[in-house]
Homo-oligomer: A and B are copies of this chain.
């Protein structure tokens, strides 16, 4: 399965008075990694919307193992852990760069919907193609 890693430097803005990254802010970190996963597939989420598809989040969850802190340089990895019908799940892990320990992990579940009527619809063909191409390229 295709997997990407993207870097992120933690600003003061993300911390809370416990001196760690606020738990809710990991959701935007997950989003950053999802964006880069789609870019790596040659089909950015921006293109996705331009072609009439949206991917709203229907479920999100995260496990917090150890806190990320101000000025940490994080590595956020993402990969698709499920694609079934109109649904897709993207898993994410957050680490400090150069370290093995997972600080937080989780996943988001999305449904492909049409931007016209906001109804569920099959993933765009181009997206499925990019996945197939990926499997071929790894063969």
Contact = CB atoms under 8 A, between A and B. Distances in A.
Given A46-B70, A63-B59, A64-B59, A24 B31 contact: yes
A71 interface: yes
Interface size class of A (residues with CB under 8 A): 35 or more
Contact of A11 (B18, B26, B35, B59): B35
Interface in A101-133: 108
A60 interface: yes
A20 to B, nearest CB: 8
A77 to B, nearest CB: 16
Contacts of A23: 27, 56-57, 60, 108
Interface of A: 9, 11-13, 15-20, 22-28, 31-32, 35, 44-46, 54, 56-64, 67, 70-71, 108
17 contacts: A9-B35, A11-B35, A12-B17, A12-B35, A13-B16, A13-B28, A13-B31, A15-B16, A18-B54, A23-B57, A23-B108, A24-B25, A27-B27, A46-B71, A57-B64, A60-B61, A60-B64
